[in-house]
Amino acid sequence: MKGAEERGQAGEQHEVAAPPLPRTLIAGVGYRNLRDLSAGNAVVDALLELAWPPGVEVEDLSYGPMDAIFRLREASFERLFVVGAVARPGRFPGEVYRRRWRYEPEPPEVVQGRVAEAVTGVISLDNLLVICAHFEALPPEVVVIEIEPEDDGWGEGFSPRVERAVERIAARFIAECGVRSAE
C-alpha cells in the first residue's frame, strides 16, 4: 500500500504515508513432503523471503495448535490469514476458496478428540482453528484460504493446478501488503 501524493503549500509534493496495517499474521498449515498438502507451507516459505511492513508477520503454524495457542495469545494479533490445502466434497482441484472463519462451538468431547489428534502429530487446518478458538486464542478477524488438493501422495512438488494456486495466493498477499524484496 503505497502512500498517495498530496500537494502542500506553494505546490510542493510529498508522499502521504499509508495507514498502518492491523497487527497481522499470515500463516500456513500443511504436511511437508505430501505433495499438494504442502501448499500452505510453500506459501509461507515464499513469503518469508520478503520484507513485510511493520505489524505483519509470516509463520508456519504446522507445529500444532497446542503451541499455536500460546504464540497467538502472546502476540495479540488483530488479524489472521491461514492458508492450507484441504480436501472437501464438491470442490475442484487447484481452486482457491477464501472465507472469513467463524467459530461454531463444538461439544467438549469433540474438541478433546481434536486435541488428541493434534498432540499425536496430526496436522489439520480445521483442528488448528477449532482448538485455538475453543481456548480463545484467535484474533478477532480470521480469514481462511484453502486450496483443493489434487495429489496427496508422498513427495515434493505440486500438481500443476496447485502450483499455480500457491503462486496466486503469494502474489495476492504481496500486492495487498505492498511488500518488497528483502534484498
How far apart CA 118 and CA 151 sit, in angstroms, is 23
Q: Which residues pair with 97 in a beta bridge?
A: 146
Q: Quick check: 103 pLDDT over 60? A: yes
pTM of the model: 0.85
pLDDT in tens, 13-43: 655 555 567 899 999 999 999 999 999 999 9
Cα 2 from Cα 137, distance rounded (Å): 32
Per-residue pLDDT reduced to its tens digit, 120-176 = 999 999 999 999 999 999 999 999 999 999 999 999 999 999 999 999 999 999 988
Segments making up each domain of the chain, as ranges:
22-178
Architecture of the structural domain at 22-178: 3-Layer(aba) Sandwich (3.40)
